Structure 1
Amino acid sequence: MQEHLDALEERMQQLQQAMRSAQLARDSEQVRQLRAELRRTQRAWDALFEQAEDTEETSADDGTRRILSENKPAGQPPVVLPAREQVHQVLTLLAVPAAPKLISTVHEAFFAGALAPSRLTSLRRDEERSYRSAPGARPYYLCPALTSDLLSPARGLLTVSTWPLEQRIVGPLSARVHFLTGALNIADAADRVSGGTLPLPARHLLLHYARNIPGAQPPAPHPTEAGLPIDLTLLRRAAQDELALHATSDSTTRTQAAARARRQLDDAGLLFGGSFQSARRLRSVP
């Protein structure tokens, strides 16, 4: 949770600096848009901070429950987090929009418990319904990525509301950029696995990325008892090299789309996208 607070604080600082620049440039419209986003970010920070306080206040009880949990009879099922929290864990690891199948696969590789893609089917609608009934009541919402051209929900891609708007938009090159970025973040997660031995689902996931990034595998890999070797250093280097080719163009597209979205969409639209009925009109407005 601390990392999310840090990210929100960093975002607020960026927005404040951007507001000062816009004020010096006498761009009142840009100041208005940035101020609105700053207020939304502040509300998200407040909600998350209150949740962190509640967690600290109940830490003693949590410790007691943990001890009791460790003394449970063998075979008793472990406590499973709600689906939205499991999805949030995965998206935080990936740091890019992701489809339900990938979310489920990454969860199986690095987190406890199962997360079937079918559990995510109605999640986005539930999140939007919750936001519209009580905006800002939750520290974060799971929302769709927005398309850079229509500013409408991107089919099957989930993001986190506390991410910067630019990070929640997808353009023509974003699928590849997100694949490469995901490979880097998954490699980092693999490095953090305690004991140094990757579980089989994590190995399969890394091999999937390595096979789909040129130069990410050794020239002539030889299978071992644990399967094909995985060179995380080679995977990172190959992903970074290709990412350098696409990142600037993709970032420019998403930044321009984000600026347009801030002018055209309300608070709910910035999270869940414009309606398909108005998508064509929004696309035509500069």
Structure 2
Amino acid sequence: MSDRLDDLERRIDELRAGVRRAMRVKDTATARTLRAELRGAERTWDALVSTAPAGDPKDSDPKDSEPLPPAKRLVTVREQVHQGLLLLGACAQPRLIVAVGAAFCGGTLRSNQLTSLRRDEERSFKSSPYGRPYYLCAALTDRLSPARGLLAASTWPQARRMVGPLSPRVDFLTCAIAVAEQVGDALIEPGGARLLARMARNIPGAIDGDLGPPDPARVIEAARAELAVHVERDTQDRAELAERATTQLGDTARLFGAATLSTVAKKRITG
């Protein structure tokens, strides 16, 4: 069993290296073939590991009698969301955070797990302000109210957590660059390549019509070119909004947004 696993692991490493070489020279046909073989090898490895009998004497080793190390701590939903936001470096919607977690962080998030997360964070902050190293908070609109469906990290500067007219596009391009950098730096994984392909389709010049995975370097170049057009104005808009938020809002509202008139009315009706 162990010899078979060793052979498979070596083959998996060889296939991953082959995929990267093919991607560098833009040989998409070879990359596609190698990735299919890689997925098959990984499935075989998983099947062997999951069916290996516990305590098989053939696989015994003297060190097996030593105390086992502590179990790896489970990463909470909150921590997985935080990891995704830090990787992206910009305000993001839950579905993008979930996709990034699955592609690069080994995450197991589902979108419905994020539904009440921001409200839970706000309640925690109100009960014990700044009791945690970070909070998962809201991006704020020009009305200083929470932007629908956009999460941010409390440790970011206030300006980065504001949403001006150009901010959705700027944040999308920023996230695309971050994803492309991860795909370029890490071993090519199907989830990361698929996510980058979806994002690249919305960036002019990022793909050349090829059916294969996009070139991360090309995506970065195209995203930065468009970002240069918008970033100065967006930075100015965000700075102005951040100044308003800092001077007009209290600690809680700066993180989670000011209540809108509709929210106040709803509370009065339900109260």
Determine if the TM-score, normalized by the shorter chain, exceeds 0.5: yes
Counterpart Cα distance in 2 of 1:79 and 1:106: 21
The amino acid of 2:110's aligned partner reads: A
The amino acid of 1:182's aligned partner reads: C
Counterpart Cα distance in 1 of 2:147 and 2:135: 16
Which of 256, 275, 279 in structure 1 is aligned with 2:240?
256
* Structure 1 residue aligned with 2:122: 128
Please give the secondary structure, in 1, of the residue aligned with 2:148.
strand
CA spacing shift, 1:231–1:262, aligned 2, 3 Å: same
Measured against aligned partners, the alpha-carbon deviations of 1:82-109 in whole angstroms (never above 9, x if no partner) come to: 1110000000000101111111111111
Instruction: Specify every segment of 5 or more residues in structure 1 that has no aligned partner in the other structure, as ranges.
Output: 1-63, 70-77, 280-286
* Structure 1 residue aligned with 2:153: 160
* Structure 2 residue aligned with 1:139: 133
Residue 82 in structure 1 maps to residue 76 in structure 2: yes
Aligned pairs, number:
199
Shift of 1:113: 3.3
Please give the secondary structure, in 2, of the residue aligned with 1:143.
strand
Q: How does 1:172-211 map to 2 (within 5 A)?
A: 172-193=165-186, 196=187, 198-211=188-201
Shift of 1:211: 1.0
Shift of 1:230: 2.0
The amino acid of 1:272's aligned partner reads: F
Shift of 1:68: 5.0
- Tell me, yes or no, if the aligned pair for 1:80 and 1:113 is still in contact at 8 Å: no
Measured against aligned partners, the alpha-carbon deviations of 1:106-151 in whole angstroms (never above 9, x if no partner) come to: 111111131001000111011000000000100000001000x200
- Tell me, yes or no, if the aligned pair for 2:194 and 2:213 is still in contact at 8 Å: no
* Structure 2 residue aligned with 1:273: 257
Which of 189, 203, 217 in structure 2 is aligned with 1:213?
203
Please give the secondary structure, in 2, of the residue aligned with 1:159.
strand
Shift of 1:263: 1.0
Please give the secondary structure, in 1, of the residue aligned with 2:159.
helix
Counterpart Cα distance in 1 of 2:161 and 2:144: 11
Shift of 1:277: 2.8
Normalised TM-score (structure 2): 0.69
Counterpart Cα distance in 2 of 1:277 and 1:65: 60
The amino acid of 2:206's aligned partner reads: A
Counterpart Cα distance in 1 of 2:215 and 2:67: 40
Counterpart Cα distance in 2 of 1:131 and 1:158: 16
Counterpart Cα distance in 2 of 1:278 and 1:109: 38
Please give the secondary structure, in 2, of the residue aligned with 1:144.
strand
State the structure with more CA Rg: 2
Measured against aligned partners, the alpha-carbon deviations of 1:5-36 in whole angstroms (never above 9, x if no partner) come to: xxxxxxxxxxxxxxxxxxxxxxxxxxxxxxxx
Please give the secondary structure, in 1, of the residue aligned with 2:193.
helix
Shift of 1:192: 2.7
Instruction: Specify every segment of 5 or more residues in structure 2 that has no aligned partner in the other structure, as ranges.
Output: 1-65, 264-271
- Tell me, yes or no, if the aligned pair for 2:184 and 2:217 is still in contact at 8 Å: no
Aligned residues: CA RMSD: 2.2
Counterpart Cα distance in 2 of 1:107 and 1:212: 21
Shift of 1:210: 1.3
- Tell me, yes or no, if the aligned pair for 2:80 and 2:107 is still in contact at 8 Å: no
Please give the secondary structure, in 2, of the residue aligned with 1:96.
coil
Please give the secondary structure, in 2, of the residue aligned with 1:136.
coil
Shift of 1:79: 5.3
Please give the secondary structure, in 2, of the residue aligned with 1:154.
strand
CA spacing shift, 1:133–1:208, aligned 2, 3 Å: same
Q: Which runs of 4+ in 1 moved over 4 A?
A: none
The amino acid of 1:258's aligned partner reads: A
Normalised TM-score (structure 1): 0.66
The amino acid of 1:152's aligned partner reads: S
CA spacing shift, 1:66–1:109, aligned 2, 3 Å: farther
Measured against aligned partners, the alpha-carbon deviations of 1:10-67 in whole angstroms (never above 9, x if no partner) come to: xxxxxxxxxxxxxxxxxxxxxxxxxxxxxxxxxxxxxxxxxxxxxxxxxxxxxx9984
